[in-house]
Structure 1
Amino acid sequence: MAERNDIILNQFEEYLTQIALSPATITNYLADMRNFVRWGKKTYGDDFSLITVAPEQIRAYRNHLLEEQKRAASTVNRHLQALRKCCAYLTQTNLSPINAAEEISLVSGEKGTSPQSLSAKDVEAFLEAAYQTLSSIAKRDAAIVNLLVGAGLRLAEVSGLQLDDVVFDYPGVHLAVRDSRGQGKRDIPLSQEIYKLLKEWLLIRPKTSFPYVFLSREANPVSSRTVQHIVSRCAKTARLNGVTAQLLRRTYALRLLEETGDLDLVQQRLGHRDSGVTKRYLNIENPQTDADG
């Protein structure tokens, strides 16, 4: 007869497949969860169950990875992300009365080990700053910074975005982004908020023969340098230090990975040639090196 935790993990695997996570991501999640179960049984006994796991047990596991196993912050956080996903599934399916991982914080990375990103509060302040400019270009700037942090575009991709790249497909809209590195196009769906901002800008965009989405007050295409200037101005207004377009792109990627757990999806959205590039970009270690012996 199958062990109860194994049954739960089999059901969890079916759930991950249903929500269309990549096979590699599913494999990694399950490997991390099995590591957690093995540690739980060794620490608390054979009766250790995913259904009754408590927040303090997850904290103890986090400390075990950090202090005893000496794992990097990025590795510990990957284990915690798997736990968050599994505990959320257990709660949604009424298998567990509480989400034991919901309030467990991720680990702050040491210098050079964890990619820098903006907090949700900082992102909100940064986006609000885009509106604190001349009314004639506030809508443009708001659309630009939202594309950087909400769609993960590069500087050159924002300045090079053309009208034909905005594809309206019911019920939403997506961008057919021309890769700034000459690797073709990639599709990026837009949130309703970004779609609204983009639509508001296009309604007042100066009429010109230029095909580019974003124009200056003089109706000339904006340059990458102008986009970076907009980023710097918004950061200064929001009193945030060290904000660059690269930081906004990384913030987008980390948030997408946290929400979906799908590294392949993040790779596609960022326009990376393979997942290895994305792992290095986000400083993610190989899960195969994490197995508890």
Structure 2
Amino acid sequence: MSYQESFINYLKYEKRYSSHTVVAYKNDLDQFADYCAVVVGEFHVKEVINDTVRGWLLHLMEQGLTPRSIHRKITSVKSFYNYLMKEGVVEKNPAANLTLPKVRKKLPGFVDEQSLAHLLDDGENFTTDFSGIRDKLIISLFYGTGIRLSELINLKEGDIDKRAKLIRVLGKRKKERIIPYPAEINNLLESYVVERNKEIGHKTEFLLVTNKGKQVYEKLVYRVVKKSLARITSLEKKSPHVLRHTYATHLLNKGADLNAVKELLGHANLAATQVYTHTTFEKLRDSYKQAHPRGG
């Protein structure tokens, strides 16, 4: 087994990273290995030096990659060598102490409350058959709980306590958290389960399924979200993560405590949640300008 394969297995089985993240790491390392093969002639992990990684950095910049993409790729190499140091394969990390291009902070996109209310409350946005009710439930769960795509896909019926209106999810690193959800989701859940059982005719392990009874998958959920959000917003990015951003932003706009939002989102530290305070601050500033006699 190569060092790269060993590292990828480490990310999969010990760090328990999502399949999407693991693929990104693998692609970055493959690209770095290809670069080394061209420049040096062959990729040997023990022979890579700081200048090799710096050369790749410059190569990526010349190719016109965004600073954010470059940061991710260098981080992949740095993580790989941190792993090799831990395993005693190398003594130094050649990706350490590099000056990286500055990443412009991008505020998360979100949808306004009125638009989401229109999407979910207007009876013409979703059909009343199995697929339509399921799609509406997908949007309602994303917006009503702020859960991640992987968490939604792996939901089981037993994870939902209808009486207490609580949902149990397994987040990153298999960390469990309990999230309250809006009461109106219960009616939607009941309608969905009835239609699902009629559609597929048997019980399933997972809550959300295709019309063939299989667990829903990432592309299907992305399509549902993109199609639904296209009805109400001109945001360029229309993804499950936008609904997660929207959930957090609306909570903070209504005065929710930042630490409470951190726990609901399943963030490991407060820094990850604080990005949402930028969007709520903009709203506060607009309110100030409108309300204060000298605010303008």
Specify the SS of the correspondent of 2:254.
helix
Residue 139 of structure 1 deviates from its aligned partner by 1.1
Q: Deviations over 1:48-75 (max 9, x none)?
A: xxxxxxxxxxxxxxxxxxxxxxxxxxxx
Q: Residue 267 in 1 paired to residue 262 in 2?
A: yes
Residue 112 of structure 1 deviates from its aligned partner by 4.7
- Residue 161 of structure 1 aligns with an amino acid whose one-letter code is L
Residue matched to 1:126: 119
1:51-90 aligned at under 5 Å gives the runs none
Residue matched to 1:211: 205
Residue matched to 2:224: 230
How far apart in 2 are the matches of 1:237 and 1:117?
A: 14
How far apart in 1 are the matches of 2:225 and 2:191?
A: 20
Greater alpha carbon shift after TM alignment, 192-201 vs 121-130: 121-130
Residue matched to 1:35: none
Q: Indicate if the aligned counterparts of 1:139 and 1:197 stay in contact, CA closer than 8 A.
A: yes
Residue 215 of structure 1 deviates from its aligned partner by 0.8
How far apart in 2 are the matches of 1:230 and 1:130?
A: 15
How far apart in 2 are the matches of 1:167 and 1:113?
A: 36
Specify the SS of the correspondent of 2:162.
strand
Residue 153 of structure 1 deviates from its aligned partner by 1.2
Q: Deviations over 1:239-268 (max 9, x none)?
A: 644321111101100111222330111001
Specify the SS of the correspondent of 1:186.
strand
Q: Output the TM-score relative to the length of structure 1.
A: 0.53
Within the candidate set 170, 177, 189, 1:186 is matched to: 177
Residue 150 of structure 1 deviates from its aligned partner by 1.6
Residue matched to 2:143: 149
Describe the shift of the 1:283–1:183 C-alpha distance in structure 2 as closer, same or farther (beyond 3 A).
Answer: farther
Residue 178 of structure 1 deviates from its aligned partner by 1.5
Where in structure 2 are there 5+ consecutive unaligned residues?
1-103, 281-296
- Residue 243 of structure 2 aligns with an amino acid whose one-letter code is L
Residue matched to 1:117: 110
Q: Quick check: which has more Rg, 1 or 2?
A: 2
Describe the shift of the 1:121–1:168 C-alpha distance in structure 2 as closer, same or farther (beyond 3 A).
Answer: closer
Residue 210 of structure 1 deviates from its aligned partner by 2.8
Q: Indicate if the aligned counterparts of 2:222 and 2:240 stay in contact, CA closer than 8 A.
A: yes
Within the candidate set 165, 169, 173, 1:173 is matched to: 165
Q: Deviations over 1:11-36 (max 9, x none)?
A: xxxxxxxxxxxxxxxxxxxxxxxxxx
Q: Indicate if the aligned counterparts of 2:249 and 2:279 stay in contact, CA closer than 8 A.
A: no
Q: Indicate if the aligned counterparts of 1:115 and 1:282 stay in contact, CA closer than 8 A.
A: no
Residue 143 of structure 1 deviates from its aligned partner by 0.8
Q: Indicate if the aligned counterparts of 1:114 and 1:282 stay in contact, CA closer than 8 A.
A: no
Describe the shift of the 1:284–1:251 C-alpha distance in structure 2 as closer, same or farther (beyond 3 A).
Answer: closer
Describe the shift of the 1:284–1:254 C-alpha distance in structure 2 as closer, same or farther (beyond 3 A).
Answer: closer
Specify the SS of the correspondent of 1:205.
helix
Where in structure 1 are there 5+ consecutive unaligned residues?
1-110, 286-293
Describe the shift of the 1:272–1:130 C-alpha distance in structure 2 as closer, same or farther (beyond 3 A).
Answer: farther
Residue identity (%): 24
Q: Output the TM-score relative to the length of structure 2.
A: 0.52
Residue matched to 1:138: 132
Larger RCO: 1 or 2 (CA < 8 Å, sep 6+) = 1
Residue matched to 1:195: 186
How far apart in 1 are the matches of 2:114 and 2:160?
A: 29
